[in-house]
Amino acid sequence: MNTFGEYLRLTTFGESHGKGIGGVLDGLPAGLNIDESFIATEMARRQGGRNHYSTQRKEPDKVEILSGVFEGKSTGTPLGFFIHNTSSKSSDYTALKDIFRPGHADFTYFYKYSIRDHRGGGRSSARESSARVAAGAIAKLLLKEFQITLRSGILSIGDVTGEDIDFNFATKSEIYALDKKVEEQQKEAITQARKAHNSIGGVAIVSALNVPIGLGEPLYYKLDSAIGSLMLGLNGVKAVEIGSGVECSKMRGSQHNDAIYKGGFETNHSGGILGGISNGDEILIKIHFKPTPSIFIPQNSLNIAKEECSCIIKGRHDPCIAIRGSVVCESMLALILADMLLLNSASKLENLKKIYAKNS
Amino acid sequence: MNTFGEYLRLTTFGESHGKGIGGVLDGLPAGLNIDESFIATEMARRQGGRNHYSTQRKEPDKVEILSGVFEGKSTGTPLGFFIHNTSSKSSDYTALKDIFRPGHADFTYFYKYSIRDHRGGGRSSARESSARVAAGAIAKLLLKEFQITLRSGILSIGDVTGEDIDFNFATKSEIYALDKKVEEQQKEAITQARKAHNSIGGVAIVSALNVPIGLGEPLYYKLDSAIGSLMLGLNGVKAVEIGSGVECSKMRGSQHNDAIYKGGFETNHSGGILGGISNGDEILIKIHFKPTPSIFIPQNSLNIAKEECSCIIKGRHDPCIAIRGSVVCESMLALILADMLLLNSASKLENLKKIYAKNS
Amino acid sequence: MNTFGEYLRLTTFGESHGKGIGGVLDGLPAGLNIDESFIATEMARRQGGRNHYSTQRKEPDKVEILSGVFEGKSTGTPLGFFIHNTSSKSSDYTALKDIFRPGHADFTYFYKYSIRDHRGGGRSSARESSARVAAGAIAKLLLKEFQITLRSGILSIGDVTGEDIDFNFATKSEIYALDKKVEEQQKEAITQARKAHNSIGGVAIVSALNVPIGLGEPLYYKLDSAIGSLMLGLNGVKAVEIGSGVECSKMRGSQHNDAIYKGGFETNHSGGILGGISNGDEILIKIHFKPTPSIFIPQNSLNIAKEECSCIIKGRHDPCIAIRGSVVCESMLALILADMLLLNSASKLENLKKIYAKNS
Amino acid sequence: MNTFGEYLRLTTFGESHGKGIGGVLDGLPAGLNIDESFIATEMARRQGGRNHYSTQRKEPDKVEILSGVFEGKSTGTPLGFFIHNTSSKSSDYTALKDIFRPGHADFTYFYKYSIRDHRGGGRSSARESSARVAAGAIAKLLLKEFQITLRSGILSIGDVTGEDIDFNFATKSEIYALDKKVEEQQKEAITQARKAHNSIGGVAIVSALNVPIGLGEPLYYKLDSAIGSLMLGLNGVKAVEIGSGVECSKMRGSQHNDAIYKGGFETNHSGGILGGISNGDEILIKIHFKPTPSIFIPQNSLNIAKEECSCIIKGRHDPCIAIRGSVVCESMLALILADMLLLNSASKLENLKKIYAKNS
């Protein structure tokens, strides 16, 4: 169950402190330019600035392409890739090898499998998201061919919430803040949490523009289903909103319905999705991240002998996972849209006629 | 893409105003008692009371089992079922056959497929959820064998939000209200919306108790991924929260982490899921429904000739889809948990040894 | 696991002596004319002539379409259908309800599921193939739009093998014989087996013409993989050959390789498939059917108490399943080719550019 | 579509002359000892003896495990692995980069994808089977825990066919011959083909013993379906037989049906499979391989400009692919049986009760 997608399928493997993280992207159409420097740029975005707001674990995160590309172009065969772990310090985890860290997957992996790689969370580490960003970068290269663009940023850190949604500013901000007016306050909130050996939650926003009408496969692989699946399945995400989101429940129909005019929709409460299918409007998603579970304050827990104990965590951890998480969410939306674009190609007979015109 | 699940797979078909709604539940273990009266009870719950708070379309919604059951027990072969449409009034929709109803899937289905069954939304109608409830009822029969129980109810209608979460009260309430103290206010909010020819949003809560530790298949079929996929894929849902939900982003790690003791977790911010796997605690989900898009006030829209027009809707519609939606969400969680229970059976060698002990 | 296909997916359900046999065909492109009279014709072909060479169980096998079609055209939503059982005589099977019929699936279903519907083999009955033929007929309607045609017939009955492969003659022959010269001898072989209360094996050939180059998704959903999966998975099939088939092993490379010229391939040892992908040449498959396991001679067997007993079969059975099986194989090849046609539509960027030209 | 399996899923990637061949085995139960020396032994079997009967391309084929194993045991997370290409001589292929080699996939890959990695067939090379053998070795480690054993060997080379099926002898034979009496003749047939710059076909047999009753998921993932899919999808295979195989069509029912006694089946025409489910008897498969398409005699062909030309092949090629192919087929049967073993674990309620006894 380490595969996502129906036509464009990403399978990932690897652990935080093993040899590395890898992936296989299958179903990519042939003839796409695979721009490795763009992939590197995306990987760097996920790593965040070398600043106080993200983990001190700094690895080059070089994506090595193992297959599926010939003379710079995709060949239609599976694109395998691997990202070597170069900076893992397993020794940080030795003291914790028999203890379940609160808020982590240690407890559930142990009882599910009766064995676990305790080093840095093993497979359950957020480090796996590097494979999602690598694959998402390739998906973006495909989407670019159709002028579909994606952006993201941070709306809230703790209870400091911005008002403006300025994706351009976010690209320059060390914490990917969307609102310049609150950026300093948000940084301060992170700094205070960090200094208290604690962590803090945050909210990310992801947007996609110029998405063609028709993407999404009802009824069980709708566009919003896929968003729900990937976003709520990401480490630390506890809530996902599309368009009007949680506010929808407070409205009446006459307020919420987006009136339709020749020029488009009057409002975008739908978040660009109607009946699980893109309607051509901006796709807007809000993702709520819990605070990093790894904190440096002693916590009550159990060990594998089911005895109560104090859990004291060391290592290098982001004080706020939402920041780098926002880039992962953007990558995952790219993967979803690319998959939907491919799936939709055979949705009607007239599409097939265009493709097989000369063969028939 | 009308199939959900990896081991226990539900495929549905059918339209609102066609012959009916059907489904195939494949992967159900053999030997389960298929209690048809329980299925009927669940279908009745989805229909809601015959009151002013739900649609006036009243059909018996009789689930006819077509296969997979022999002498009252499941045989391991696919269980096909069908629910005849008996009360559809297609004539209500004739006036709208070339108009896209705002907030509905008319627009996107038309552009995706270049053809659409305009009668009552066709495939995109909420009527399809009857198949989810039928299949969910069967999933519940399986879960009952392992003492897993599910409950649901309504937290908010518009801006009237309850405090108590009393699932027992919800079973008696006409609007499945969880908090007796606000039930009347919530009814009043619906009545006012209805009288204004309008509709209103709402929030449902779903809970599962006694879920074994270990359900969920990381990393792309985690328990929370599946919840996100099915819940955000349901008509009218714009946000889904698990455990602490949107509140998580405002917390610090020391607050959010659920400390672990011999007797269990101190708090349940995780909503019963760690690393995508059930941790044995209560599974708690909050689902936000938009107001019913079908309202009886004229709205601006387009027709299929891309001309602006006024859209005037007739027919029978729930003023608040959250109410009956809560039952559908509970059914979908049952489907997810049943699938996860089956998938988990081969997660470790020791499980297989128990099963194949005599064969080896 | 009752679903076949990756894009165009057929899910079937139903038993021989239950209410009927049904199916859901999902992924069918919108806009296809669903010619119900053509479906009826195909169903009649599967039933065979009302003669001595096939079962005396004669049902109209009317395919009722339950969904997915609006005003005669496919809508892109799942096409559900059902074929009622009208002629089942369960009483024929009462005597055998605790006995495993040799050559049948009784034994394995019982031990796998600990329960079985003994009436006519239940799910394992060849009657399920009616759903394959119904879905295959729809697949053929799609293939016709691209001038792809399929044909089939009988090569051998027992050890009487024809030389000519005359698909036109087969359509007129009561036993779908391909070679007029041996038709009478083949009929005689069947008659003798039938008179001896016995049954006889046979070999079918299926052909597809005008298949575009490029169908098949290497490496695990190659065109020949899919053929192997469906054909060897059909009741009673013990061997499948493609192109040169079993003869290939006796050749040298210089004989077997099909030389390529401007006008096409010199020979067709490949059977129209190279590297798992159609090469534009005729697709040629040979399918070997065992004799019908239901014979009217007493056989040694066990009952469910594991006691030895004599098994005496009654009922109505084809003396030679290859005859009607040939039609099923043709239908299955249609399903495979239709699925491959849809999957191939997104195989290269230039195809996608054709489809999304106006949207981008 | 580079994934095989439903529970235990193998995804492969890589090309003949790229960086290497890799795979991800997902769904492997936790707690299995991963014996790397056994994997190495299996890889060596696939390479064949360093003799005149197989390719002169000799690589160590070291399987590097990248993930999913911790302290020697499987963890339940995906097992990624990679086999570096160390001996590829791409220069051998430069002359052929615009020419379609007869009998190869060059033609179809080019027209399907409009681009191809011409070096050694790229993805379509038999070298990919190294990933199947690596994964098959791991599947065998799982099957061993249940005393299931697999064997294979060569029945025929060209028209030299053995009578004895001596799997022990095959392990010692340079050409994996099953019958000592014809081994020399079979070697001679290969040698003559090789000396004539030609190649020759062959037939392999694969057997599995001690398979529990119940493996196989009807109706579309039967045990024989899966065998058909993987075996007919292997490079160079043109026919697959199970049990009685092509002989079945010549028999009458009374001959073909395997009578059942307390001690088991009297005969094994079924090849150990009834209704798509294992019946506990020996599983017996016969696989027919065409002669290696790479021969050193000039052949007529086309180039990518659609001009006729002479194709002259160089490089290192097996004169008879059946020999090493037999090991691949054995590995694939191991993969199938392992997948089926896992899938079957949830087939009936009583199995689930055994697993969740303590949790409920």
Tell me if chain A has a CB within 8 Å of the CB of B201: yes
Locate all alpha helices (DSSP H) within chain A, ordered by sequence.
36-47, 106-113, 129-144, 167-172, 180-195, 223-232, 253-256, 321-343, 349-355
Contact B278 A344 (CB under 8 A): no
User: d(Cα C290, Cα C294) in Å, to the nearest integer?
Assistant: 11
Do the chains contact at B146 and D346, CB–CB below 8 Å?
Answer: no
Structure tokens at C8: 């165009």
Average pLDDT, chain A: 94
Query: Looking at residue D121, what is its pLDDT?
Result: 87
Q: Does residue D26 belong to the interface with chain C, where contact is any CB pair within 8 Å?
A: no
Cβ of D245 within 8 Å of Cβ of C266? The answer is: no
C64 → chain B, closest CA residue: B19
* Per-residue pLDDT tens over the stretch A84-117: 998 766 677 788 889 999 999 999 999 999 998 8
Q: Which of C103, C27, C69, C20 is nearest to C291 (CA)?
A: C103
pLDDT of residue B350: 96
Distance CA D242, CA D228 (A): 9
Let me know: does A97 contact A118? Beta carbons within 8 Å.
yes
Torsion of CA A335, A341, A347, A352, to 10 degrees: -130
B30 with D356: Cβ contact below 8 A = no
Asked if B360's CB is within 8 angstroms of D146's CB, the reply is yes
Residue B330 has pLDDT above 50, yes or no: yes
Task: Report cis status (omega within 30 of 0) of the bond before A219.
Answer: yes
pLDDT for C20 beyond 90: yes
- List all residues 6 or more positions away from D244 whose beta carbon is below 8 Å from its beta carbon: C238, C290, D251, D256, D269, D270, D271
State how far the Cα of A75 lies from the Cα of A65, in Å rounded to an integer.
13
* pLDDT of the residue at C10: 98
Residue-wise pLDDT for C210-225, tens only, equals 999 999 999 999 999 9
Residues of A (81-140) whose Cβ lies below 8 Å from D: 82, 109, 112-117, 122-123
Contact C136, C331 (CB under 8 A): yes
Asked if B251's CB is within 8 angstroms of A291's CB, the reply is yes
Identify all chain B residues contacting C123, using CB atoms and an 8 Å cutoff. 67, 75, 77-78
What's the gap in Å between the CA of C75 and the closest CA on chain B?
6
Least Cα separation, residue B226 to chain C (angstroms): 20
Residues of chain D neighbouring C128 (CB-CB closer than 8 A): 219
C359/A146 CB distance under 8 A: yes
Do residue D261 and residue C308 have CB atoms under 8 angstroms apart? yes
Q: Are C343 and C224 in contact (CB under 8 A)?
A: no
A352 Cβ under 8 Å from any chain C Cβ: yes
Q: What's the confidence (pLDDT) of residue B51?
A: 73
**Cα–Cα distance between C201 and A315 in angstroms, integer?**
70
Which residue in C212, C342, C347 is closest to A359 by CB distance? C212
Beta carbons of B360 and D212 less than 8 Å apart: yes
Distance from CA of C346 to the nearest CA of B (A): 16
Taking alpha carbons only, the member of B68, D214, D348, D218 closest to residue C111 is D214
Judge whether D360 lies within some domain.
no
A-chain residues near B135 (CB < 8 A) = none
Closest partner residue to A31 among C343, C349, C359, by Cβ?
Answer: C349
Residue C27: which domain range?
3-356
At residue C83, the 3 state secondary structure works out as strand
At residue B59, does pLDDT exceed 70?
no
Taking residues A292-297, what's their average pLDDT?
A: 96
D50 annotated as ligand-binding: no
Answer whether residue B100 shows pLDDT above 90. Answer: yes
Which residues of chain D make contact with C136, given a CB cutoff of 8 A?
Answer: none
**What pLDDT was estimated at residue A188?**
97
Q: Which of C169, C202, C204, C163 is nearest to C186 (CA)?
A: C202
pLDDT above 80 for B138:
yes
Residues 294-313 of D with CB under 8 A from A: none
Least Cα separation, residue B354 to chain D (angstroms): 7
Q: What is the pLDDT along chain D (360 residues), one digit of tens a residue?
A: 899 999 999 999 999 999 999 999 999 999 999 999 999 999 999 988 667 776 666 667 999 999 999 999 999 999 999 999 987 666 777 888 899 999 999 999 999 999 988 888 899 999 999 999 999 999 999 999 999 999 999 999 999 999 999 999 999 999 999 999 999 999 999 999 999 999 999 999 999 999 999 999 999 999 999 999 999 999 999 999 999 999 999 999 999 999 999 999 999 999 999 999 999 999 999 999 999 999 999 999 999 999 999 999 987 789 999 999 999 999 999 999 999 999 999 999 999 999 998 644
Q: For residue A86, what pLDDT is reported? A: 87
D79: chain A residues, CB-CB within 8 Å:
13
Chains near D with 3+ CB pairs less than 8 A apart are A, B, C
Q: Is D292 annotated as a binding residue?
A: yes
Q: Do B354 and D359 touch (CB under 8 A)?
A: no
CA separation for the pair C8, C26 (Å, rounded) = 6
Range C104-113 average pLDDT = 96
B77 with C13: Cβ contact below 8 A: yes
| Number of neighbouring beta carbons within 10 Å of residue A266 | 13
Chain B touched by D213 (CB under 8 Å)? yes
User: Closest approach of chain C CAs to the CA of B339, in angstroms?
Assistant: 14
Phi, psi (rounded to 5 degrees) for A167: -65, -30
C293 is known to lie in a ligand binding site: yes
Contact between D314 and D92 (Cβ < 8 Å): yes
Q: Average the pLDDT over B256-282 and give the result.
A: 97
Angstrom distance (rounded) from CA B219 to CA D76: 11
Nearest to D280 by CA among D147, D167, D190, D160: D147
Neighbours of chain B (3+ CB pairs under 8 A): A, C, D
Distance CA A180, CA C69 (A): 53
Model-level pTM greater than 0.90? yes
Q: Which two tokens stand for residue A32?
A: 């796409």
**Chain A to chain C Cβ contacts (< 8 Å):** 95
Does the pLDDT at position B359 exceed 70?
A: no
In a domain, B206, yes or no: yes
Q: Residue A58: pLDDT above 90?
A: no
Residue A1 near chain D (CB below 8 Å): yes
pLDDT at C359 > cutoff 50: no
Mind telling me how many Å the CA of B276 is from chain C's nearest CA? 25
Please give the C-alpha separations between residue A94 and each of A113, A117, A120, A295, A314, in angstroms, as whole numbers: 20, 11, 10, 17, 10
pLDDT value at position D276? 98
- CA gyration radius for chain B? 21
Q: What is the mean pLDDT of residues C67-76?
A: 97
Cα distance from D126 to chain A (closest Cα, Å)? 15
Number of domains composing chain C:
1
pLDDT tens sequence across C114-134: 998 888 889 999 999 999 999
CA dihedral in degrees (D331, D334, D336, D337; nearest 10)?
Answer: 170
> Is C233 within 8 Å of chain A by CB?
no
Per residue in A196-251, pLDDT tens? 999 999 999 999 999 999 999 999 999 999 999 999 999 999 999 999 999 999 99
Rounded to whole angstroms, what are the CA distances from B191 to A278, B53, B158, B198? 33, 7, 12, 10
- Which residues in chain C are contacts of B77 at CB distance < 8 A? 2, 13, 15, 117, 122-123
User: Which candidate in B252, B277, B286, B311 is best for mutational testing of the A interface (most A CBs within 10 A)?
Assistant: B252
Q: What is the pLDDT of residue C230?
A: 98
Backbone angles phi, psi at C7, to 5 degrees: -110, -55
Residue A318 covered by a domain: yes
Mean pLDDT of C298-312: 95
Q: Residue C292 is which amino acid?
A: T
B233 touches chain A (CB under 8 A): yes
Q: Which tens digits make up the pLDDT trace of B161-208?
A: 999 999 999 999 999 999 999 999 999 999 999 999 999 999 999 999
For residues A62 and A83, the answer to whether their CB atoms sit within 8 Å is: yes
**A105-119, A135-149, B69-83, B179-193, range with the lowest pLDDT:** A105-119
What does the DSSP assignment read for A60-112?
Answer: ---EEE-SSEETTEE-SS-EEEEEE--S--GGGGGGGTTB--TTSSHHHHHHH
Place of tokens 């206010």: B185
* Interatomic CA distance for residues A13 and B219, integer angstroms: 9
Mark yes or no for CB contact D295/C253 under 8 Å. Answer: yes
Residue A360 has pLDDT above 60, yes or no: no
Placement of tokens 């599409």 in the chain: A351
Is there a binding annotation on residue A228? Answer: no
Residue-by-residue DSSP string for B157-217: ETTEE-S---HHHHHHSTT-BS-HHHHHHHHHHHHHHHHTT--B-EEEEEEEESPPTT--B
Question: How far B35 CA sits from the closest chain D CA (Å)?
Answer: 15
**What mean pLDDT comes out for the span B79-85?**
97
> B118 pLDDT exceeds 90?
no
Q: Which chains pack against C, by 3+ Cβ pairs within 8 A?
A: A, B, D
Closest alpha carbon to C339 in C251, C227, C242 = C227
A38 burial (CB, 10 Å; 0-12 / 13-18 / 19+) is middle
Provide CB contacts within 8 A for C128, sequence distance 6+.
Answer: C12, C14, C16, C21, D219
From B66, B68, B73, residue closest to C20, measured CB to CB: B66
| Chain B closest-CA separation from residue A41 CA (Å) | 25
For residue range A315-335, list pLDDT tens digits in order: 778 999 999 999 999 999 999
What confidence score (pLDDT) does residue B317 get? 85
The pLDDT of residue C163 is 96
| Chain A: touching chains (3 or more CB pairs < 8 Å) | B, C, D
Confidence of residue A22 (pLDDT cuts 50, 70, 90): very high
- Chosen from A339, A352, A353, A358 to mutate, greatest number of chain C CBs within 10 A: A352
CATH of the domain at D348: 3.60.150.10
> D70 vs A122: CB contact, 8 Å cut-off?
yes
